[in-house]
Amino acid sequence: MRVDEMLKLDGQVAFVTGAARGLGFAYAEAVAEQGATVVMTDVDGTALDAAAARLKAGGYNVHAEVLDVSDTDRVAATIDGAAKTFGRLDIAFANAGLSAGPGPLTERGAMASVDLARWNTLLNINLTSVFVTIRAAANHMCKRRSGRIIVTSSVAGIRGERMCGYAYAATKAAVANLVRQSAIELSQHNVNINAIAPGPFLTNIGEGRLHDPDVARQFVADVPLGRLAQTDEIKGLALLLASPASSYITGTVIPIDGGASAF
């Protein structure tokens, strides 16, 4: 099979959480550009409608549904509904997540300042909702013995990260190992699951603090390539993992971080 044919997704159905902006939007756009029908979900209905309209204007087949991933019953029901509506589910991106705020070298981010209510919120959204997304998507994919699940982890999940809060680092490490654990079971059903571990991308996570030049400079100080990434730069890796080109890749956590994890 030609490489360009390996990357085609015509006739496939994809589901993306946190798709209104940032990396989630880039994931949705990447697979839509290759012919997939994309169910875009996000808690922010206004931003989601605008994002879906942008892709529809480009001629892509996308559908928007408001979804708060902290409601895990609703997550499963929305995935089931998408599979029923479109008759199949081929690709799922478990992407929605929250920042825990500044890292441990700041007063607000120090261990003594960690708010346990916020900690538990991140556990629910960054970890439990990811597990539920994986489980609900796998339920449909295993029956068809085909599917790709992609989870957004972080470089903070594979090494210590001075710029990221405790709960964020902990949950992103947890989802990385959740992917490895899931691969053991799902590989029996020809379903591949992998994680992307981004470094500092210019998104609005954490109330957009990476748009602050001082904060950006601190993040970039740990990046050998010496800059923040643009969201389009994640699309190639996302497409690889969502497509038949990744047929022999499962249980991996792949950094895309400008070399930060090389330290």
pLDDT per residue rounded down to tens, the chain (263 residues): 898 899 999 999 999 999 999 999 999 999 999 999 999 999 999 999 999 999 999 999 999 999 999 999 999 999 999 999 999 999 999 999 999 999 999 999 999 999 999 999 999 999 999 999 999 999 999 999 999 999 999 999 999 999 999 999 999 999 999 999 999 999 999 999 999 999 999 998 766 788 889 888 999 998 999 999 999 999 999 999 999 999 999 999 999 999 999 88
Residue 189: per-residue pLDDT: 98
Predicted pLDDT of residue 86? 98
Domain regions of the chain by residue span: 3-262
pLDDT score recorded for residue 209: 81
Q: C-alpha angle with apex 235: 240 to 135, nearest 5 degrees?
A: 65
Amino acid identity for residue 123 in this structure: L
Residues known to be catalytic? 168
Query: Kindly report the CA angle at 97 between 205 and 56, in degrees rounded to 5?
Result: 80
What is the maximum span of the chain, computed from C-alpha positions, in angstroms?
Answer: 56
Q: Quote the pLDDT of residue 207.
A: 65
Rounded to two decimals, what is the model's pTM? 0.96
- In angstroms, rounded to a whole number, what is the distance separating the alpha carbons of residues 95 and 38? 14
Q: Which amino acid is at 149?
A: I
Residues 6+ apart with CB under 8 A from 184: 251
Predicted pLDDT of residue 69:
98
The confidence score (pLDDT) of residue 206 equals: 65
Q: What is the CATH number of domain 3-262?
A: 3.40.50.720
Dihedral (Cα; 28, 46, 216, 96), 10-degree rounding: -50
What pLDDT shows up at residue 152? 98
